[in-house]
């Protein structure tokens, strides 16, 4: 028998990997990528050997956490585009992406500064901006979004959300939703 059998991760190994990614995502969002691997293992409730078995370097771990963050933004935009009501789709995207940015607290900036070649950001950014522009155009065509709205308005909103500070992630998300609601009202035609 020369063929190798497929390798399936044990459920506890999959659970460990998921806990590591969740802990890393939260730590990176709150503190940037300077968190130590030992601290990440402790936060995930695993040993350092387990952490390194799944993620041999911090760059690999941070890249996967960052990729998940980007995927969450892309998923929000795709759901917005799929909504038959363009204004509701636009509002949903603005709120979800603003909350993600508020909870991020600079992870994206820290990640790109520390690992500048880990992800092709220009390709990801262009695809996201094209999708957002299409969503905005649909909302304008429906008469719901201000005619003078430009994507830079949304970028400004995202920048404002990165400045939100609260005592807990739940309080940060609540504040981000409130600010997003105020901004969405100003975008309405």
| Least confident window among 55-64, 72-81, 114-123 | 114-123
Number of domains in the chain: 1
| Residue 152 domain flag | yes
Q: What is the pLDDT of residue 150?
A: 95
**pLDDT the model gives residue 120:** 80
Task: For residue 75, tell me if it sits in a domain.
Answer: yes
Looking at residue 50, what is its pLDDT? Answer: 94
What whole-number distance in Å separates Cα of residue 27 and Cα of residue 31?
6
**Domain ranges, residue 86:** 59-187
User: Does 76 reside within a domain?
Assistant: yes
CATH of the domain at 109: 1.10.357.10
* Residue 28 located in a structural domain: no
- Does 151 fall in a domain? yes
Q: Does residue 12 form part of some domain?
A: no
pLDDT tens figures, 8-27: 557 777 889 999 999 998 89
Whole-structure pTM value: 0.78
Of the candidates 34, 9, 53, 8, which has an alpha carbon nearest to the alpha carbon of residue 20? Answer: 53
Q: Is residue 177 part of a domain?
A: yes
What pLDDT was estimated at residue 3?
A: 64
Please give the residue that has the higher pLDDT: either 74 or 30. 74
> Which residue has better confidence, 161 or 61?
61
Assigned domain for 15 exists: no
Write out pLDDT tens, residues 108-150. 777 777 888 888 878 888 888 899 999 999 999 999 999 999 9
């Amino acid at each position: 028998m020369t063929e190798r059998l497929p390798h399936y991760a044990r459920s506890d190994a999959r659970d460990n990997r998921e806990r590591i990614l969740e802990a890393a995502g939260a730590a990176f969002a709150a503190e940037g990528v300077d968190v130590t691997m030992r601290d990440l293992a402790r936060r995930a409730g695993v040993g350092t050997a387990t952490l390194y078995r799944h993620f041999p370097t911090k760059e690999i771990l941070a890249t996967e956490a960052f990729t998940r963050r980007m995927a969450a933004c892309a998923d929000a935009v795709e759901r917005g585009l799929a909504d038959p009501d363009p204004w509701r789709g636009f509002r949903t995207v603005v709120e979800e992406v603003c909350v993600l940015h508020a909870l991020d607290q600079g992870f994206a900036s820290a990640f790109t500064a520390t690992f500048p070649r880990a992800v092709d950001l220009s390709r990801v950014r262009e695809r996201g901006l094209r999708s957002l522009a299409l969503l905005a155009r649909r909302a304008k065509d429906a008469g719901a979004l201000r005619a003078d709205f430009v994507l830079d308005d949304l970028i400004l909103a995202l920048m404002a959300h990165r400045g939100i500070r609260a005592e807990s992630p739940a309080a940060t998300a609540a504040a981000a939703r409130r600010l997003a609601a105020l901004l969405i009202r100003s975008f309405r035609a």
